[in-house]
Structure 1
Amino acid sequence: MEIYLIRHTTPAVERGICYGFADIDVAPTFETEAARIKGLLPQKAMDVYASPLQRCSKLATYLFGKTFTTDERLKELNFGDWEMQRWDDLGPDALQKWMDDFVYVRVPNGESYQDLYERAVEILNEVVAKGRDAVLVTHSGIIRALLAHVSATPLEKSFERRTEYGRIACLSVTNNQLNIVFYNS
């Protein structure tokens, strides 16, 4: 069994803006990026799950038509009060407090990375239990959390793994053991 983790394409948002739950559209480069991704995927039957945010659901539609399920647990980190704010405008004290322990400290009116990790692992376990090849069209935070889970990497170190827009990771499941087959960065 294989599970493909696909990060959405470039979003239409200015650099330096904090976004997670914000429903941002895709950039004008979408068609080119999506076509590259489509060419990398195997042509076989797979269950497809996507974040309901349009930067993921548009990619899932491009790749698989309307035959996918959206799941709230595949959303990016909820940045609460910080959503759509410039990182530079958050203030060094607030940002530093979060950066010092981003795994457990919740963003004001948002969530912690641990919260995201728990929902990501929950849906991964459900997908694995079904025993069918699958695709998760999702966000960087979810992919980092799942790769950390599979590789037993501490969450504090999971940001050392690059997750570029439109990149794919593949997990294999053999005898209920999850392994990273490849990560296309």
Structure 2
Amino acid sequence: MSTLWLARHARPLIDSGICYGRLNVAADAALTAAAAQDLVKALAANTAKNFSSPTACTVVLRHSPLQRCEQLAHALIEQQSRLVFHPHADTRLQEMDFGAWEGVAWHDISRAHVDAWAADLPHYAPGGSESLASMLQRVQAALQHSWLVDSQQGTRDVVWATHAGVIRCVQWLLQHGNALPSSAAWTLPAPGFGQWLALPWAAAAPRLSHLNP
């Protein structure tokens, strides 16, 4: 069964408690290499179990152009395995843009601004930049493209090297379609640093057909 692998970058080299969204910070190199090694093992096991043709060795690899995800993409390619990765940098896989909040400690951001965001989660643009509704639109476009082009409608595995926010958006789209979330409903889990979700394309495909273009 072909699969969409949603892989989160390894731990970034930035102090905890900082809002870093689109900041182009690096990830821990050793943890990135370990994450890539584990993911390649899982990918190889999946393709060996589900495919017998040579095309099973081809994996489309989309990654956020931010450094911490590029590191993971490069580490995957460098692994010695039977898999052949076809990498593509994709701006749609970037984390939310927090605008003026970026690089600021969360506890230093005005409580009134955080409350305003919670009151209108889909449409409020934190830091004056990107709203969740806008982010969902770009992730939806990337998801539909990956289904039709990258996976060739579910016949190839696809890896996204991306961010927690993007992975939450994919889960929301597949569970709720074009509905917009409230703060109370936005409770979707994300993998830990260097971890991933594996979503069978067969389960995602029917839900993708119900998303508005």
Q: TM-score range by the shorter chain?
A: 0.7 to 0.9
Between Structure 1 and Structure 2, the one with more helix by share is 2
Q: SS at 2:197's partner residue?
A: strand
TM-score with structure 2 setting the length? 0.76
Instruction: Please show how residues 1-185 of structure 1 align to structure 2 within 5 Å.
Output: 1-27=2-28, 29-42=31-44, 44-65=57-78, 67-130=86-149, 131=152, 132-152=156-176, 155-156=181-182, 157-174=185-202, 176-177=205-206
Summarize deviations over 1:65-96 as a string: whole Å, max 9, x none: 48411010000000000011000111211111
More deviation, 153-162/134-143: 153-162
Q: SS at 2:128's partner residue?
A: coil
Amino acid at match of 2:170: L
More deviation, 20-29/35-44: 35-44
- Measure the CA separation in 2 of the matches of 1:4 and 1:148: 16
Between Structure 1 and Structure 2, the one with more strand by share is 1
Amino acid at match of 1:126: H
Structure 2 CA distance for partners of 1:110 and 1:100, relative to 1, 3 Å: same
Contact 1:19 1:83 in 2 (8 A): yes
- Measure the CA separation in 2 of the matches of 1:74 and 1:161: 17
Summarize deviations over 1:148-173 as a string: whole Å, max 9, x none: 11122763324342431122112222
- Measure the CA separation in 2 of the matches of 1:162 and 1:21: 17
Amino acid at match of 1:37: L
| Larger-gyration structure (1/2) | 2
Q: SS at 1:155's partner residue?
A: coil
Amino acid at match of 2:137: E
Where do 5+ consecutive residues of structure 1 fail to align? 180-185
- Measure the CA separation in 1 of the matches of 2:195 and 2:129: 26
- Measure the CA separation in 1 of the matches of 2:124 and 2:20: 17
- Measure the CA separation in 2 of the matches of 1:170 and 1:31: 19
Q: SS at 1:23's partner residue?
A: coil
Where do 5+ consecutive residues of structure 2 fail to align? 48-56, 79-84, 209-213
Structure 2 CA distance for partners of 1:107 and 1:144, relative to 1, 3 Å: same
Contact 2:99 2:130 in 1 (8 A): yes
Q: SS at 1:68's partner residue?
A: strand
Shift of 1:2: 1.9
More deviation, 140-149/35-44: 35-44
Q: SS at 1:136's partner residue?
A: strand
Q: Which residue of structure 1 lines up, in the alignment, with residue 54 of structure 2?
A: none
Q: State the superposition RMSD in angstroms.
A: 2.2
Contact 1:171 1:178 in 2 (8 A): no
Shift of 1:117: 0.9
% same residue: 26
